[in-house]
């Protein structure tokens, strides 16, 4: 089995389900046009990922192609969507582009063991689906979240350790782009704390690891085994012990994110983020300690 098989299956299932749901709904032309542009970008990025899986691309052209796909998706965002209104519009959009690029690659970096992506993406997209039903996401984004959740659940049996299918770049990069779009829509709807809490484990593990490698003078763009979950495996944890912990933490993060939606006060947002940060920090410490 190849990485391309798993990635194409997930991207295809998500696209078919999401677009199919809209074909049977009335008066949704604008949503369909937006989804068409988004999925064209997703498919283009999947092609880039498939090419990179077969014959690795140089870092710069790969990054430029990812940036083009991310910029196309960002162009579909409502013009009046703001995450931090005090920032100039152009500066915020530039930060969103950088955030998209980081998250697209972050999902790829973290897809290093069987079921890791399942343990992360299923709770995250289930939370996004729930929040969409609560009115925190647009209708089309909610359908995409549900479709992506279903696609990953369908992919899970084939990626169960020892995996028969892998996502590879062709699967992980488009998933990262879709999630970036969904999380920005959530943050732009006034739910920044929830948008940070949902992917907090991935954000913390990947960002701390890359910063640590940069400070130590290690190449950040080369393959490595420095992520916390990889260190835990090197320290004696098995795959099930790692992914079950990640899954459990993500379930709690979804609950904390839901509470920040129900109570929009600033103090409650801070408490939720602090609680999520402490929980993720404890998991990273647990993983890191195993390698000592």
Instruction: State the DSSP H helix or E strand holding residue 246, giving kind and residue range, or none if neither.
Output: helix 239-262
DSSP string, 203-228: HHHHHHHHHHHHHTT--SSS--S-SH
- Integer Cα distance of 275 and 143 in angstroms: 29
- Integer Cα distance of 116 and 291 in angstroms: 19
Of 259, 142, 252, 248, the C-alpha closest to 191 is 259
Q: What are phi and psi of 28, to 5 degrees?
A: -125, 30
pLDDT of residue 162: 87
Centre a 10 Å sphere on the Cβ of residue 154 and count the other Cβ atoms it contains: 14
Q: DSSP class of residue 135?
A: T
Whether a cis peptide bond, with omega within 30° of 0, leads into 211 is: no
Q: What is the dihedral of CA 145, 147, 149, 155, to 10 degrees?
A: -150
pLDDT of residue 5: 54
Of 219, 202, 181, the C-alpha closest to 72 is 181
Alpha-carbon distances, residue 245 vs 85, 110, 156, 205, 283 (angstroms)? 36, 15, 17, 14, 8
Q: Residues of the chain whose pLDDT is less than 50? A: 1-2, 4, 23-24, 26
pLDDT of residue 36: 86
Centre a 10 Å sphere on the Cβ of residue 106 and count the other Cβ atoms it contains: 22
From first CA to last CA, the distance across the chain in angstroms is: 35
**By three-state DSSP, how is residue 163 classified?**
coil
Q: Can you give the three-state secondary structure of 36-84, one letter per residue?
A: HHHHHHHHHHHHHHHHHHHCCCCHHHHHHHHHHHHHHHHCCCCCCCCCC
């Amino acid at each position: 089995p190849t990485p391309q098989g798993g990635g194409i299956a997930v991207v295809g299932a998500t696209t078919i389900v999401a677009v199919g749901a809209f074909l049977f709904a009335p008066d949704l032309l604008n949503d369909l046009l937006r989804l068409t542009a988004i999925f064209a970008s997703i498919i283009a990025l999947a092609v880039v990922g498939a090419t990179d899986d077969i014959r690795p691309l140089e870092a710069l052209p790969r990054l430029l192609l990812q940036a083009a796909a991310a910029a196309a998706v960002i162009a579909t965002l409502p013009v009046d969507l703001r995450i931090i209104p005090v920032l100039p519009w152009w500066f915020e959009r530039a930060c969103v582009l950088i955030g998209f690029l980081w998250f697209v690659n972050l999902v790829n970096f973290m897809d290093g063991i069987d079921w890791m992506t399942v343990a992360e993406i299923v709770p995250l997209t289930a939370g996004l689906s729930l929040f969409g039903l609560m009115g925190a996401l647009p209708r089309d984004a909610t359908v995409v979240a549900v479709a992506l959740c279903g696609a990953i659940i369908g992919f899970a049996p084939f990626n169960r350790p020892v995996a028969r299918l892998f996502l590879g770049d062709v699967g992980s990069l488009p998933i990262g782009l879709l999630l970036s779009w969904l999380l920005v829509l959530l943050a732009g709807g006034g739910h920044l704390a929830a948008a940070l809490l949902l992917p907090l484990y991935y954000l913390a593990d990947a960002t701390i690891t890359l910063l640590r490698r940069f400070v130590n003078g290690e190449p950040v763009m080369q393959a490595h085994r420095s992520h916390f979950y990889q260190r835990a495996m090197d320290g004696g944890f098995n795959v099930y012990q790692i992914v079950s912990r990640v899954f459990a933490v993500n379930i709690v993060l979804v609950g904390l994110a839901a509470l920040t939606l129900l109570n929009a006060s600033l103090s409650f947002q801070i408490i939720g983020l602090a609680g999520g940060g402490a929980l993720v920090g404890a998991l990273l410490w647990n993983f890191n300690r195993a390698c000592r």
